[in-house]
Structure 1
Amino acid sequence: MNAKDAFHQTVHNYPGGCEALAARLGVNAAVLRNKANPNADYHKPTLDDVDRVMVLTGDVSVLHALAANVGHVCVRAETDGAVSDMAVLELVAKAWSASSDVGAEVYATLADGIVEAHEVRRVEQAVYRTVQALNEMVTRLKSMAEK
């Protein structure tokens, strides 16, 4: 997904939709709707708009879209305080689950002997989720490491 589509989804998936989010942002709903329209050549969102929307919604899919576009992944840097063996085990399980998603997507892509662009995008998204889960695990282990 590209950043424009991610911003559009973030704005419109907010509980109460664009109107409710616009009220929280203190902006006109029509202006926010236009800024979120990925096909509009006017009323484009600013970096400040994107930042405020991500903070208010908790949806950082725009950040992930931007990172993926330049070959990077995003990992939440702060821990939620649940630094324990069980928390690490949960992240390992998450990584294994994401890894099996990669295998399933690769298998589905190759099953008919034809590799299509949309299939490659699904594989790429599954790989992204796996790398993200593994990086989260490493971040958690680093926070547990004795200094």
Structure 2
Amino acid sequence: MNVIDAAHGTVHDYPGGAAALAARFITRAGGSMSPAVLNSKVDPGKDTHHLTLAEADKLMAFTADYRVLHALAANHGHVAVRTGSETPACDMAILEIIARAWASNGDVGAAVNDALSDGRIERHEVERVRRAIYPVQMALQQLVMRLEEMAE
């Protein structure tokens, strides 16, 4: 996913959208950011305003939506995985992670099948496969972390 699209989705999917979030962004002058400015900063079609790294960090903190983080990681060949967990490491937690990985594998298979169906691979098809693989990578990394928590 494109980082700007991820930021746009994060702002507009938040309950109340830009209006609700903008009030939480305190500017250097001490006032809040206007919804129009926040909208401009996450608008994929505008080149005049840009979300700063500090603002992207605040956006993720305010919304608990990490699409921007995942987009940055994926764009640079990395996978972002939450460290630690709210649930204790146990057999059921492991089973839930494995089930999530298996479910995501179906998406990978469908993306690969679609890409191969016409006998040629196009760039957009590779990107679709990459997006399908990302949740599997995250689940498998979480599996390893949980197993490490359980190790004696």
- Name the structure 2 match of 1:71: 77
CA drift of 1:21 comes to: 1.2
Moved more, 112-121 or 49-58: 112-121
The reply on whether 1:142 has 2:142 as its aligned counterpart is: no
What letter is aligned with 2:38?
L
Identical aligned residues as a percent: 51
Instruction: Please list the CA deviations of residues 46-85 of structure 1 after superposition, one character each: whole Å capped at 9, or x if unmatched.
Output: 1110001101111100001101111000101021133211
Q: In structure 1, what is the equivalent of residue 12 of structure 2?
A: 12
Residue number among 132, 135, 138 corresponding to 1:129 in the alignment:
135
Match of 2:33 among 27, 32, 40: 27
Structure 2 SS opposite 1:24: coil
- In the alignment, the residues of structure 1 paired with residue 150 and residue 22 of structure 2 have an alpha-carbon distance, to the nearest angstrom, of 40
Q: CA deviation at 1:111?
A: 1.4
Paired residue type of 2:149: S
- Which stretch has the larger CA shift, 53-62 or 37-46? 37-46
1:37 aligns with 2:43: yes
Corresponding position: 1:80 with 2:86: yes
Matched length:
146
* Distance in 2 separating the partners of 1:88 and 1:10: 29
- Which of 17-26 and 59-68 deviates more? 17-26
Q: Give the Cα separation in 2 of the matches to 1:39 and 1:62.
A: 17
The CA RMSD over aligned residues, in Å, is 1.3
| Runs of 5+ consecutive residues of structure 2 not aligned to the other structure | 26-31
Q: Which residue of 1 aligns with 2:28?
A: none
Q: Which secondary structure does the structure 1 equivalent of 2:23 belong to?
A: helix
TM-score, length of structure 1 as denominator length: 0.92
Among 101, 107, 116, the residue aligned to 2:122 = 116
Partners of 2:127 and 2:47 in 1: how far apart? 26
Work out the CA distance in 2 between the residues paired with 1:70 and 1:55.
Answer: 22
Match of 1:107 in 2: 113
Deviations 1:69-119 (A, max 9, x none): 110001010211332110011001111111222111111111122322222
Matched, 1:47 2:43: no
The structure with the greater share of residues assigned to helix is: 1
